[in-house]
Each structure stands twice: as C-alpha cells, then as structure tokens.
Amino acid sequence: MTSVMMRKLNGLLRTENIGKVIHYYDEADSTNSVLAKLAENGASEGTAVIADTQTRGRGRLERKWISPPGVNLYISILLRPSMPPGESPLLTLLASIALVETLKKTGVEKPVIKWPNDVQIGGRKVAGVLTEMRSKGESVDFVILGIGVNINMTRAQINSEMREASRVATSVKENLGKDIERAKFTADMLAEIEIWYKSFARRGKPFILKEWTDRWGGQNRRVRVHTEDKNTYEGTAVGIDGDGHLLVKTDEENTVKVIAGDVTVI
Ligand code: BT5
C-alpha cells in the first residue's frame, strides 16, 4: 500500500468505526507490534495500522510472515470487546469469515477457511490471521487482529520469496489472473469486519461458530494433527467447540480437542 493508495482507501471507506483512524507506514517491523504500542497508549477501537512491507512480519508460534513491498496487504486492527479473555479466539474466526466474504466479493470462487487461522484457495494459503490479546484482570483490555493477504504477488515472486512455503501459498492475482486494487480490497475487508463484529455483538457466539463452520473446508475430512510438542496423529475433523478449539475423532473413537498446532487435510 503506498500513500497514494491510502488516499484512495480513505475515499472508499464506508465504515463507522473500523479503520476510522489508519496509521500508514511504508515499512514497519510488524503492524501488530506497532499497533500494540498505540493500544497501550489508549488508541480507540477500530484504529488500524497498515504497512507496505514488514521487516519482521509474524505468524503464530514465532513463525515468519513473508511481507514483500508493493503487492500485498499487511494490516492490524484494534478491538476492545467486552468479553472474557478465553473467548478472544472467536475473533480469529470472525476475521476468517470476513476474509472469505471479501475474497468472494473480489471474484474468487471458492475460498475456504483452514482451522484455525488460514484462508485458502484451491488448498493453498492466500491469507493468515494473527490475533493477539492483552487482558486486564478478568476481561479483555484489547485484541489486535493482524491480517496478511497475498494480493498481487505473482507465481514467480511467490516461488522466489517463499521457498518451502511456496508450494502451499497463492495470491488473489494468481487465482484471478489479473491485478487487484489493494485500496478497494482493503475497504471491502474493513467493511466486512465491521459487519461481522456487529453481528457477533448482537447475535453472539453460536452465530459466529455456525457461520465459520459453513465456510470451513475441513468438516468430516481426514486430517493429520501436528501438535505444538511435535507429535502427530490422524483422525476425522468433526467441528469446533465453543472456544474455537478443533475437535478431531481419532481412529480409537476418542474425540480430541486441538488447542494449538497445525492441522492438514490428507
Ligand atoms: C499466520 O501464521 O498465518 C498469521 C499471519 C499473520 C500476518 C499478519 S500481516 C499483518 C500482521 N502483522 C504481523 O506481524 N503479522 C500479521 P501461521 O499460521 O503461523 O503461518 C505462518 C506460515 O505461513 C509460515 O511458517 C510459512 O510457512 C507460511 N507463510 C509465510 N508467509 C506467507 C505468505 N505471505 N503467504 C502464505 N504463506 C506464508
């Protein structure tokens, strides 16, 4: 996103709250880290940080998010929901739903969610969500929704930038065969986030869980679970529980709750 695009984005934005204040950087270490500092200093809900490139873009579990300049979207959005800290994973689900809807609106035919935080096209990752939460006593102080979307990266660029991840990554451009206006995509995505955030406040957790499941690509699929302590096991993905944890039925017919880790459909 360049400063010209930021002006375009300001013109396109129709949200009440989400993205009403946007801090733009040509380069940041990580938009999540920049926004965390603003949040600690009292920034209001809906404040966002966008960078054209990140030098230390982060995934989950200390992984790296590849963030070349000029092509993609790297954005963090500040939320201050009144909810218990344990429910904050629901906001990752909400962001994934909003991403699927934005991709559909952009013309992508079958974007699906991969538990817990990826959005894929044709089995390849086009976007990832990194939700970070700070609590204050029994309640949430703030949540940062960090979203990275590969918008205009070409296949050649994906191959050269991503090495081993390149086989499982894609971009909107690779899928649609044309350049996508980043400002428009961002405006549409912020609008979707606002819509789903309001629906969540009004209709609650069961609504989000159902809408997420409808867009999830793993229901009843055979999966391999890679746990955080580097074990693996297989089973059938049956759904998510009320806290957003994945439920996998193993071959011994036990239902296991996956709290962190990675799950691949096999
Ligand atoms: C994620 O982590 O998918 C969360 C990514 C969140 C990135 C945004 S960008 C704005 C904000 N600021 C930040 O610093 N972060 C957020 P995870 O599920 O752990 O996936 C990380 C893995 O995806 C890596 O280990 C690679 O295998 C792969 N990967 C890295 N960069 C990628 C990219 N650009 N596109 C697709 N896959 C990528």
Specify the residue with its C-alpha closest to ligand 1, atom 29.
Answer: 65
CB 133, CB 84: distance < 8 Å: no
Query: How far is CA 39 from each of CA 48, 59, 154, 164, 229, rounded to the nearest angstrom?
Result: 10, 20, 35, 35, 32
DSSP 118-139: EEEETTEEEEEEEEEEEEETTE
Structure confidence at residue 240 (pLDDT): 94
DSSP state of 48: E
DSSP state of 143: E
Specify the residue with its C-alpha closest to ligand 1, atom 25.
Answer: 63
Strand order in the sheet with 255-258: 255-258, 246-250, 232-240, 222-226, 262-265
For 227, list phi and psi in degrees, rounded to 5: -80, 165
pTM here? Answer: 0.96
Average pLDDT value over all residues in the chain = 95
- What are the tens digits of pLDDT across the range 43-102? 999 999 999 999 999 999 889 999 999 999 999 999 999 999 988 989 999 999 999 999
d(CA 187, CA 125): 21
pLDDT band at 1 (very low <50, low <70, confident <90, very high): low
Report CA(15)–ligand 1 centroid distance (Å): 26
Atom of ligand 1 at shortest range from CA of 57: 14
- What are the tens digits of pLDDT across the range 179-236? 999 999 999 999 999 999 999 999 999 999 999 999 999 999 999 999 888 889 999 9
- Pocket-forming residues, ligand 1, beta carbon under 6 Å: 30-32, 54, 57-61, 63, 65-66, 74-76, 117-118, 125, 128-130, 146-148, 150, 165, 169
Atom of ligand 1 at shortest range from CA of 165: 27
Structure confidence at residue 243 (pLDDT): 86
